[in-house]
Amino acid sequence: MTIEKEALSDVGAGVCCIIPPYVLDHLVQSSDARIRQIAVDAIANASAVRAVRATLAMMPAFAAVPSPAAKRHRLIYDAKNGGFNELPGHLIRSEGDPKTEDIAENEAYNYAGSTYNFYKSVFARNSLDDHGMTMISSVHLGRRLNNAFWTGEQMCYGDGDGRIFIRFTKSVDVVGHELTHGVISHTCNLVYSNEPGALNEHFADVFGSLVKQWRKRQTAKRADWLIGGDIMGPDTTAKSLRTFKAEKAYENDPLLGTDPQPKHLSNKYNGSGDNGGVHINSGIPNHAFYLAAMEIGGKAWEKSGQIWYKTMLKLTSTSQFNDMVVTSTESAATLYGNNSREHKAVTKAWKSVGF
């Protein structure tokens, strides 16, 4: 177990991964040696990207590869099961190229396009940096890798082990979530630890979910409000990685345990794990957004999303939960009027989760 303990102690600082460290920690304790090894491999890949991600977070503009015409430009690479040091891999598809016979390549291409189109259509934002940044993705990273992550300059997708998780390109909300980390780095650039890190994960979850809702043209009432529902494998009973609703995404799952996300400030995690609870405590503002969106009604990207986008642009790298509450409430008043339905909904939502 030495390698497993060492890997656990080294996981994830500053790495924007869709699979939280607490999930991998739980899998490492499995009685199944194969599951343990798959978890260790995922942790090792997260550790490999950590230094790169931390460096690029300090200078995001240098990581942005400009597109030829300063508009939507996607590049899809096949890592051919190679490791992080071999990225990006073999270029397989560029903007405008026909689809390939590989479903992961096509999903990465299509869902990156959906994310670009969402930000352009809803917020008039031109790619992640608002200047037409090329959206680079590598699929088939590693062998049976249970993760997807944003490195600071590109997206990487594992294929999953086929039991706990399947290919990570399958969930459009996962793609939207990870690419939104790129948007965050080019706006408020929230530090990836403690409350700022939880807000970082929160915005990624919010806009990842809104990309899915926008693509499906769903109202807030019809949306499932799940993150990662499409990547869950056959050997787990979990319906998703996270849920915005008051319920848990999974409970007493034989492989994943129980979803630890709190939905109220009184249950906030105060430990040092998960970079100070970045994936855990994001459940609190996530639930607030859900409550506000349901109260406002209609399509969540039209009003609730506008409030949250305006808030993201106003925050700084060290913003705390209280800054989020104040700024989002002010943004609602600025956009729709003081004591408007929208302003009241946001105020009520934050009070409901303990603020």
Residue 3 confidence (pLDDT) above 80: no
Active site residue 95: no
State which amino acid sits at residue 59.
M
Residue-wise pLDDT for 69-113, tens only, equals 789 999 999 999 998 888 999 999 999 999 999 999 999 999 999
135 beta partners: 74
Residues comprising the chain, all counted: 355
CA atoms within 13 A on the CB side of 212: 24
Contact by Cβ (8 Å): 184, 200: yes
**Containing H/E element for 287?**
helix 283-296
Q: Catalytic one among 95, 105, 153, 178?
A: 178
Residue 267 confidence (pLDDT) above 70: yes
- Both ends of the chain: CA-CA distance in Å? 43
In sequence order, what are the residues at sequence separation of 6 or more whose Cβ sits closer than 8 angstroms to the Cβ of residue 259?
238, 242, 243, 248, 249, 250, 251
Q: Provide CATH 1.10.390.10 ranges for the chain.
A: 194-352
Cis peptide before 20 (omega within 30 of 0): no
CA distances 344 to 187, 223, 308, Å, are 27, 22, 15
At the topology level of CATH, where does 194-352 sit? Neutral Protease; domain 2 (1.10.390)
CA–CA gap between residue 140 and residue 118 (Å, rounded): 25
Active site residue 264: no
pTM of the shown model: 0.91
Q: Catalytic one among 73, 177, 186, 279?
A: 279
**What CATH number does domain 1-186 carry, 1.10.530.10, 3.20.20.450, 3.10.170.10, 2.40.50.100?**
3.10.170.10
CA–CA gap between residue 235 and residue 342 (Å, rounded): 42
**Containing H/E element for 52?**
helix 33-57
Residue-wise pLDDT for 305-327, tens only, equals 999 999 999 999 999 999 999 99
CA distances 109 to 120, 137, 236, 238, 296, Å, are 16, 8, 28, 27, 33
Contact by Cβ (8 Å): 205, 286: yes
Contact by Cβ (8 Å): 139, 108: yes
CA–CA gap between residue 327 and residue 287 (Å, rounded): 17
Residue-wise pLDDT for 4-49, tens only, equals 333 333 333 455 789 988 998 888 888 888 888 878 777 776 655 5
Q: Provide CATH 3.10.170.10 ranges for the chain.
A: 1-186
Q: What is the largest CA-CA distance in the chain?
A: 58
pLDDT of residue 346: 98
CA–CA gap between residue 308 and residue 45 (Å, rounded): 32
CA atoms within 13 A on the CB side of 308: 30
